[in-house]
Amino acid sequence: MATADEVPSVPSLEALDRKKGHTFVEPLKKINEGQDVSAFLTSKAYGDIVTFLLQLNRAMFPSYIQSPEPDQKRSAQTWELGSSAVTFSETVRCLRSLLEDLNQIIDEVPPDTRPRRFGNASFRRWYEEVEQRTSVLLYRHLPPTVLEFPMIPGDKRTPADEIKIYFLGSFGSSQRLDYGSGHELNFLAFLGCMWKLGGFDTLNPGNEERGIVLGVIDPYLQLVRRLIKTYTLEPAGSHGVWGLDDHSFIPYIFGSAQYGPSILPNDQIPTEGSLEGTPDPADVAKKTAVDRERDKNMYFGAIGFIHDVKKGPFWEHSPMLYDISGVRAGWGKINKGMVKMYNAEVLSRFPVVQHFRFGSLFNWEQDPNAAPPPSSVHTSNQPVRDGPRPSLENASARAPPPPQEAIKAPWASRPVIMPDPGIGTAAPWANKPTIMSGPDVGTADPWATKPTAMPGPGIGRAAPWANRSAVAADAGLPSTRFPQPSSRDPGATLPRTQMPLRAKDGETDAGNMPPPTKASWAR
């Protein structure tokens, strides 16, 4: 085993100094337009969120178990869901009890059975119950080290006043009846607040992070999936089929790390390769493989929920995940791409982060050491709200340029002469004057030049598709191509025509399935 001196200083979220005390404030909304996203990407809050996410992600990679024999092959310790190798701390067990209480509130608020078009309105009742019980739930389940964090004398805001904003924002919107990755981000911030206030055990690096992921985040995702299915919550800010997932993102990050290659405490996060014996990434499209792995891996657990709520071919309703399943460089490559995609599709998108609130623990202040955000599609195409009306002093500087002379069209070289109102344009068929007929005279149709003689009851007219060479036996009249029953054989029946079978709409066989397209980062 590696000694303490060999363990590098892995970047982790820094905890606050209890000796200095802290001033807590009410988190407020700061992102109001697209330009604010660029300010967020250089703020202290962004740096803390990314640091905490990468800290949890690294802990989920399998670890090498050093063999006492130098010549013996090293084995790997994996971190599957429900693994007995992960020890839960007291704080993790308390948070699990908190999530169980929220599950019981779902039983107390059944869904409305009346017909509806969108989300179930009973979710508002569930949210109201949670909101009313928030203070009791937090003081019952959070450790004293968090709730009794030293405050600056004279301050009125308590740690619970700031933490509960992120807690209540973690379960969807009671107004829009939806849930998305922005609410998932709030739960990550809720756990980050507890880490900053010293609520988690930091004496055993790696074990507490794995306890947070396996013991808290996964039960939270199970709770959210029950909320979505019970109250039919809509996706919040979803790209539809062109997004990774309608509701969640972080299970794909931690789940791909679970299948990544093994690492030592002083190793960097691998960017390619897979643990020996792990499923192939292409197995996400096979329901049997998903059912086998969903209870052990968070990536396949998220895929399994998609199979539960969506029907049809996987490549059709989840093309992004199907494209990623074609990555051949292993789960390490997928994990690296998922982290980059989370930064681009969640943290850099205005519709997702606009509802995130900033306080003293996740601060809006600019980080002096932060690098300027890279230019991307999302950062360069952000919505801009209407600014204040310009002052009179700058009105001339902001005035629009004078209109330029229009360019004449090629057909506008001659002046257009408008006709006299009494003169009309003669139509091509108006060469001769129309003589109105009297009331007793009918209008002759083009096909009515000759009187039509109606045939007698025994005379028929041959259809255009009739076989004129064939002569009926009885009447001596041309018959149709389809055989008719003979009067000599009253029991005869017409033969049945057989049409070629057509494939039903939407049905494809495996041979017609489109090949996977590599993701932008899957080179």
Whether residue 388 is predicted with pLDDT greater than 70 in this model: the reply is no
For residue 65, list its beta bridge partners: 75
- Name the pLDDT band for 215 (thresholds 50, 70, 90): very high
Q: Which of 88, 248, 117, 81 is nearest to 170 (CA)?
A: 248
Distance (Å, whole) CA 443 – CA 374 = 78
Whether residue 151 is predicted with pLDDT greater than 90 in this model: the reply is yes
How confident is the model at residue 148, as a pLDDT? 94
Strands, E assignment, 261-364: 357-358
The structure tokens 């794995």 sit at 210
Q: What is the 3-state secondary structure (H, E, C) of 124-153?
A: HHHHHHHHHHHHHHHHHHCCHHHHCCCECC
- Name the pLDDT band for 292 (thresholds 50, 70, 90): very high
Whether residue 469 is predicted with pLDDT greater than 70 in this model: the reply is no
- Name the pLDDT band for 498 (thresholds 50, 70, 90): very low
Distance (Å, whole) CA 79 – CA 258 = 6
Of residues 272 and 462, the one with the higher pLDDT is 272
Whether residue 428 is predicted with pLDDT greater than 80 in this model: the reply is no
Least confident of 4-18, 32-46, 251-265: 4-18
- Name the pLDDT band for 486 (thresholds 50, 70, 90): very low
Per the prediction, the chain carries an average pLDDT of 79
Q: Calculate what percentage of the chain has a pLDDT beyond 70.
A: 67
Of residues 16 and 312, the one with the higher pLDDT is 16
pLDDT, tens digit, for every residue of 338-359? 999 999 999 999 999 999 999 9
Q: Calculate what percentage of the chain has a pLDDT beyond 90.
A: 53
Average pLDDT value for residue range 9-17: 85
Q: What is the 3-state secondary structure (H, E, C) of 17-39?
A: CCCCCECCCCCEECCCCHHHHHH
Average pLDDT value for residue range 384-389: 48
How confident is the model at residue 521, as a pLDDT? 58
Q: Which of 362, 349, 357 is nearest to 44 (CA)?
A: 362
- Name the pLDDT band for 311 (thresholds 50, 70, 90): confident
> What angle do the packed helices 122-141 and 159-168 form, to 10 degrees?
150
Distance (Å, whole) CA 247 – CA 182 = 9
Half-sphere exposure at residue 92, Cβ-oriented, CA atoms within 13 angstroms: 19
Beta-carbon contacts of 432 under 8 Å, excluding residues fewer than 6 positions away, are none
Whether residue 179 is predicted with pLDDT greater than 50 in this model: the reply is yes
How confident is the model at residue 7, as a pLDDT? 41
Distance (Å, whole) CA 11 – CA 369 = 15
Half-sphere exposure at residue 236, Cβ-oriented, CA atoms within 13 angstroms: 30
Least confident of 73-77, 102-106, 110-114, 339-343: 73-77
Whether residue 376 is predicted with pLDDT greater than 70 in this model: the reply is no
DSSP for 46-100, written as a single string: HHHHHHHHHHHHHHTS-EEE--SSTTSPPEEE---TT-TTSPP-HHHHHHHHHHH
